[in-house]
């Protein structure tokens, strides 16, 4: 219909049209990738840790006196912490999700073989770790009291070579035994087999790992025996602050010759751990919005100048019978054509940028559905931006045609 | 003429106030974001020891067993005690240092201070000389102290301030747990960026507070930390004989010839260890210099690199935006320009007039960008990242910002001004 006059008019402004297309293309390419990165980070930040996050508090203790047996110290501390009113359970552990204390060990499904090996984060703690963290046991059982051994950290955690049972996360169980029959099977941290007696739904790792491996965790019935230990307590959400204060005082009272540090709720721990991701999401979001805004300004600005330039022509068209709707549609169609050109280029650019990001920064492949969404967003943006100037163009009275400028 | 053009430009801006403001704002945002991210990137990828870094090298050996062996793979980042000590004692380099990280409990002699933990570095004697560590009082220790497991320590200025009120504390005792060490030196302020000699304890970590001879630290069983990689099961009780890499080894080689010779020596050493049966993998050695090492370790956080790319992408869009809008604006005024041409203005003067108009926008954006960059860096410094406090605009970055702003304004101005000068005056006059 009216495509031909629009196209021939556009060819009169090749350079301007090309610049606008280039801008739309750059915006489309960048915004698609930025949106994808935002989604990815948000997914990472909101992944369940497996812990009853609103009810768990923790406090670190470092024993200074080298003459007390750390295990005895932990036993006494845990008993005292359990006695605090409002504390449902307490344990001493060597790591919790997001605290950065990441001990990674390879677990094999066969003795002395690397077949099917998975690298998993090792969690050790005193009896009751499952209930205290609030882990959801979906199969099997907790450790039995007789299964606990000392970690033997004086010999670099030699206990891991002697332990006979293990509880793994569902993700790790599926990775080690893809057939889904992990319960009762044995894994080999070293040459000794450890039987999988339980499977928990989720348990995030203490530090960052590759996508897909964030939940590869294994709990061992090994008692921490280092001077530095983390005490975990479970309490009602409203008592958390109060319990932490009393816990700090209790620990200092039991042994003044120690350093009590980082009393925090699990919620704080998570917030600190993902702080950088949150900042990055904020920056990415700001960049995407700013880009869209600048491009909208460009579209509106260009239309504004063109309307000014074409006032006379618009007047003539109106005088010879074009309706206001015709003029409005003319500018809308023109904008649609330019944005479409930019979008086609932009989608290619989005894929190219994604390829570069995949190589340089281990970003996954851009899902295909981002492309139509990106295109739709830019079309919408273009139509909204052009609406103001187009309405002004439609309001040009036919009488303009008869006036000389 | 220039003032007249400036007046024309200002008059033209007045006709489209909002649009002019938005164009300036877009360029300012683009330059501000680019400069903020570029400055952070510049600070993070800086040379921690300018003038010295090209003489410092990290020797890497591959003492692991055949498990997970892949031909052409990278050897471990650290060395075992046995290899570290062998290379240290062979003294084939101009200087060599072997070290690891740790944490020690400081028990202040003053009763009003509670015991506290500080980061420590257990190292051999050459550390202070090799890394140009400035000393406020006293000196480092000697190789003899290393051999004798001497009970000596060097502390930082901040720890000295805390424990001894800033007075010269050399000769005083430093109580670590139940062992006392004699302080022989106090460091002046020193914070190499990145924390190159042990990246595992934090790429941009502050320097440790206590330095103790490595042999002494092992003898006193002071707590160690940092990264450790073991293979073949933990069969050994002592780290001194365990199949684990946990020590950082650095050598100083003052010429490239010496570096080549040292690399040969490393190859010989690993072949010799193979004949002795200690090494089983084919000889696989590396000798990277300091900057090469930082690059290999990808010290600069990828988030920071991404932010920089993103900011420059944004700046590019903003520039294209300005060029497009200026062009449209000039073309809209084709009639006016045609009249000026017909009245005798040369193409050159028309070009100058339009260039002034677009350059004013670019320059306005540049100045705004500089202000935004200062604000952006202030914002970065408020963040809790370990490198936050380092984000300052230095002279070279200030100059870069200025050039970027100037370049942006010229790029944004040249093309539209040139295009608008190509107008045929007769055609424009006739069409009206």
pLDDT, tens digit (0-9, with 9 covering 90-100), for A303-348: 888 888 888 888 888 888 889 999 999 899 999 999 999 999 999 9
Of the candidates A19, A275, A287, which has its C-beta nearest B323's C-beta?
A19
Partners of B334 on chain A (C-beta within 8 Å) are: 309
- For residues B199 and B266, state if they share a domain: yes
pLDDT, tens digit (0-9, with 9 covering 90-100), for B163-195: 998 899 999 999 887 889 999 999 998 888 888
Partners of B305 on chain A (C-beta within 8 Å) are: 360-361
Strands B152-155 and B210-213: antiparallel
How far is residue B390 from each of residues A242, A349, B383, measured CA to CA in Å? 37, 35, 11
Does B113 touch chain A if contact means CB atoms closer than 8 Å?
Answer: no
Indicate the residue among B261, B296, B331 that finishes a domain.
B296
- For residues B244 and B367, state if they share a domain: no
Task: Please identify among residues 228-287 of chain A the ones whose CB lies closer than 8 Å to any CB of chain B.
Answer: 257, 259, 272, 275-276, 279-280, 283-284, 287
> What is the rounded CA–CA span in Å between residue B76 and residue B296?
12
**Residue B401 within a domain:** yes
> What is the rounded CA–CA span in Å between residue A90 and residue A284?
40
pLDDT at A160: 80
Partners of B421 on chain A (C-beta within 8 Å) are: none
Rounded to the nearest angstrom, the gap between the alpha carbon of residue B337 and the centroid of all alpha carbons in its chain is 51
- For residues B285 and B304, state if they share a domain: no
- For residues B393 and B257, state if they share a domain: no
pLDDT, tens digit (0-9, with 9 covering 90-100), for B66-103: 776 777 788 999 999 999 999 999 999 999 999 999 98
pLDDT at B236: 45
pLDDT exceeds 80 at position B410:
no
Element (H, E) at B184: strand B179-187
pLDDT exceeds 60 at position B8:
yes
- For residues B238 and B121, state if they share a domain: yes
> What one-character-per-residue DSSP string does B329-374 give?
HHHHTHHHHHHHHHTT--HHHHHHHHHHHHHHHHHHHHHHHHHHHH
Does A27 touch chain B if contact means CB atoms closer than 8 Å?
Answer: yes
Yes or no: say if A244 and A59 are a contact pair by the CB < 8 Å rule. Answer: yes
pLDDT at B342: 84
Does A7 touch chain B if contact means CB atoms closer than 8 Å?
Answer: no
pLDDT at B157: 93
What's the domain range around B127?
A: 56-296
pLDDT exceeds 60 at position B431:
no
Asked whether the bond before B194 is cis by omega within 30 degrees of 0, the reply is yes
pLDDT exceeds 60 at position B39:
yes
pLDDT exceeds 70 at position A97:
yes
Indicate the residue among B278, B296, B314 that finishes a domain.
B296
State the total domains in chain B. 2
Does A161 touch chain B if contact means CB atoms closer than 8 Å?
Answer: yes
- For residues B350 and B274, state if they share a domain: no
**Residue B335 within a domain:** yes
- For residues B248 and B318, state if they share a domain: no
- For residues B292 and B366, state if they share a domain: no
What's the CA angle centered on A130, arms A128 and A133, to 5 degrees? Answer: 105
Of all residues in chain B, the percent with pLDDT exceeding 90 is 32
- For residues B351 and B393, state if they share a domain: yes
**Residue B51 within a domain:** no
Q: Which residue has the tokens 């033209």?
A: B12
- For residues B221 and B334, state if they share a domain: no
- For residues B26 and B76, state if they share a domain: no
**Residue B50 within a domain:** no
* Contact across the interface for B303 and A280, Cβ inside 8 Å: yes
pLDDT exceeds 80 at position B159:
yes
Of all residues in chain A, the percent with pLDDT exceeding 70 is 97
pLDDT, tens digit (0-9, with 9 covering 90-100), for A215-247: 999 999 999 988 889 999 999 999 999 999 999
DSSP state of B247: B
- For residues B189 and B308, state if they share a domain: no
B366 — pLDDT class (breaks 50, 70, 90): confident
Q: Which residue has the higher pLDDT, B336 or A284?
A: A284
* Contact across the interface for A302 and B332, Cβ inside 8 Å: no
| Average pLDDT rounded to a whole number, residues A34-46 | 91
């Amino acid at each position: 219909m009216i495509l031909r006059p629009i196209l021939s008019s556009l060819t009169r402004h090749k350079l301007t049209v090309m610049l606008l297309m280039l801008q739309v293309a750059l915006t489309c390419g960048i915004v698609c990738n930025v949106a994808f990165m935002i989604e990815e980070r948000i997914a990472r930040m909101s992944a369940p840790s497996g812990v009853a996050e609103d009810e768990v508090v923790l406090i670190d203790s470092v024993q200074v006196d080298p003459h007390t047996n750390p295990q005895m110290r932990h036993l006494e501390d845990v008993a005292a912490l359990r006695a605090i009113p409002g504390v449902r359970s307490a344990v001493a552990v060597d790591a919790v999700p997001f605290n950065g204390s990441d001990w990674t060990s390879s677990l094999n499904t066969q003795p002395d073989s690397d077949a099917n090996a998975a690298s998993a984060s090792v969690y050790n703690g005193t009896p009751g770790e499952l209930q205290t963290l609030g882990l959801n046991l979906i199969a099997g059982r907790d450790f039995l009291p007789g299964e606990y051994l000392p970690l033997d950290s004086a010999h670099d955690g030699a206990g891991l070579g002697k332990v006979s049972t293990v509880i793994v996360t569902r993700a790790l169980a599926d990775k080690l035994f893809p057939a889904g029959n992990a319960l009762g099977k044995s894994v080999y941290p070293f040459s000794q087999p450890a039987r999988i007696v339980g499977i928990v739904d989720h348990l995030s790792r203490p530090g960052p790992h590759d996508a897909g491996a964030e939940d590869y965790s294994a709990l061992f019935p090994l008692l921490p025996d280092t001077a530095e230990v983390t005490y975990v307590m479970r309490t009602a959400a409203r008592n958390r602050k109060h319990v932490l204060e009393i816990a700090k005082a209790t620990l200092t009272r039991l042994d003044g010759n120690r350093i009590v540090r980082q009393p925090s709720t699990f919620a704080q721990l998570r917030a600190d751990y993902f702080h950088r991701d949150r900042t990055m999401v904020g920056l990415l979001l700001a960049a995407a919005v700013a880009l869209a805004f600048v491009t909208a300004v460009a579209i509106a600005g260009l239309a504004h100048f063109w309307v000014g330039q074409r006032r006379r022509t618009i007047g003539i068209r109106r005088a010879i019978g074009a309706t206001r709707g015709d003029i409005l549609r003319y500018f809308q169609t023109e904008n649609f054509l330019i944005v479409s050109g930019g979008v086609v280029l932009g989608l290619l650019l989005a894929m190219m940028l994604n390829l570069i990001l995949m190589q340089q920064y281990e970003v996954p492949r851009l899902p295909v559905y981002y492309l139509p969404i990106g295109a739709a967003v830019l079309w919408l943006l273009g139509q909204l931006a052009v609406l103001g100037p187009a309405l002004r163009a439609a309001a040009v009275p036919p009488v303009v045609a008869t006036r000389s400028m | 003429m220039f003032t007249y053009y400036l007046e024309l430009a200002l008059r033209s801006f007045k006709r489209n106030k909002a649009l002019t403001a938005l164009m300036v704002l877009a360029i300012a945002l683009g330059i501000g974001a680019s400069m903020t991210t570029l400055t952070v990137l510049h600070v993070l990828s800086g040379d921690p020891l300018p003038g010295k870094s090209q003489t410092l090298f990290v020797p890497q050996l591959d003492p692991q067993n055949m498990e997970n062996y892949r031909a052409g793979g990278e050897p471990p980042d650290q060395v075992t005690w046995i290899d570290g000590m062998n290379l240290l004692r062979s003294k084939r380099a101009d200087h060599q240092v072997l070290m690891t990280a740790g944490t020690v409990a400081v028990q202040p002699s003053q009763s009003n201070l509670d015991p506290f933990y500080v980061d420590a570095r257990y190292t051999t004697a050459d550390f202070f000389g090799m890394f140009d560590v400035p000393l406020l009082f006293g000196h480092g220790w000697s190789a003899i102290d290393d051999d004798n497991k001497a009970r000596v320590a060097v502390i930082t200025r901040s720890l000295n301030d805390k424990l001894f009120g800033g007075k010269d504390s050399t000769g005083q005792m430093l109580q670590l747990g139940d062992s006392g060490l004699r302080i022989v030196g106090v460091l002046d302020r020193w914070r190499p960026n990145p924390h190159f000699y042990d990246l595992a304890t934090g790429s941009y970590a502050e320097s440790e507070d206590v330095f103790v001879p490595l042999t002494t630290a092992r003898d006193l069983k002071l707590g160690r930390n940092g990264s450790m990689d073991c293979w073949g099961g933990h069969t050994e009780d002592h780290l001194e004989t365990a199949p684990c890499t946990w020590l950082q080894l650095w050598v100083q080689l003052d010429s490239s010839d010496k570096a080549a010779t040292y690399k040969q020596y490393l190859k010989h050493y690993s072949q010799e260890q193979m004949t002795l049966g200690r090494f089983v993998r084919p000889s696989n050695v590396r000798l990277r210099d300091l900057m090469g090492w930082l690059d290999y370790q990808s010290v600069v956080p990828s988030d920071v690199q991404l932010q920089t790319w993103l900011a420059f992408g944004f700046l590019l869009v903003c520039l294209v935006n300005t060029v497009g809008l200026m062009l449209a604006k000039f073309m809209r005024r084709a009639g006016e320009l045609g009249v000026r041409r017909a009245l005798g203005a040369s193409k050159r003067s028309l070009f100058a007039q339009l260039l002034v108009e677009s350059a004013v926008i670019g320059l306005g954006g540049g100045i705004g960008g500089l202000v935004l960059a200062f604000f952006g860096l202030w914002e970065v410094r408020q963040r809790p990242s370990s490198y936050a406090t380092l984000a300052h605009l230095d002279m070279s970055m200030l100059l870069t910002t200025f050039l970027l702003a100037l370049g942006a304004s010229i790029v944004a101005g040249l093309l539209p001004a040139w295009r608008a000068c190509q107008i045929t005056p007769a055609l424009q006059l006739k069409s009206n």
